[in-house]
Chains A and B, each alone.
Chain A
């Protein structure tokens, strides 16, 4: 390996997670799948925060604090999202997000 594991490696991984999440959101027709994509995106962000915290001493504490907040927020978001999905399911008898096209112009 030409160099030691540095910030860029983590950031690239975070980017992979982020892109996977985005693509997941774009391709999954299942609402739960979309939710999973969101989780992936958030994880990518978490990785980035912690990586920054690790490699930048001035940012050591804050990075972790924000990573924590992201996790908490993800949890909250998941709860809300699931509630929405269930309601959606109750209303449409499906979890196909393509049936929710009320915003169509």
Chain B
């Protein structure tokens, strides 16, 4: 067993177990904690796959940002009865059956029709270069992405296409910008939504004022 395999099994097992724990635990605070480990495990797996930048982002954004938000949410709402909310056994049963069914379908699909890709030798230099390439792709630098053949078109027709069927360089600057703006809009929207509104006195707290 190579180191890579070992690390994979370790991380994969950690991640999977933590994920299951998230599902299983009844306490929301604990679920948040288990989620933290799951996300961290995923980040590890990403590193393992050589996607250093993505993994880092996963840590920063997810573990550092999103999860904090979730925890805040938990803390803001976790009052007595809401910390643990039991779900009925029947629901559990149904959910588990459905979940297992889905997992069965997915795994059967994966294992019966395995995808064949030529696995590349992952080297450190390559990985470095990859991160750079990622940045260039996001900046739409020419030549950053590989040119690949256009699929789905018969070979004889391919030459009639522009660039003779060769894919031109793809840049992700525009999607990046769109995502950025999207994020901004979402933040503003979140702030707007989350802000406390003054509600009519009659409905304050949903409770009628005490009658003296």
Contact = CB atoms under 8 A, between A and B. Distances in A.
> Touch between A and B in complex, CB under 8 Å?
yes
B194 interface: yes
Interface string B107-124: 100110011011110100
A37 B19 CA distance: 9
Contact of B99 (A11, A23, A76, A93): A23
B23 A17 contact: no
Interface residues of B, number: 91
Interface in B91-115: 91-92, 95-96, 98-100, 102-103, 106-107, 110-111, 114-115
B76 A36 contact: no
Give the interface size class of chain A. Answer: 35 or more
Main secondary structure of the interface of B (DSSP, over half): helix
Interface string A59-86: 0111111011101111111111011111
Contacts of B191: 83
Contacts of B95: 23, 26-27
Interface of A: 1, 4-13, 15-24, 26-33, 35-37, 39-40, 43, 46-47, 50-51, 53-58, 60-65, 67-69, 71-80, 82-87, 89-96
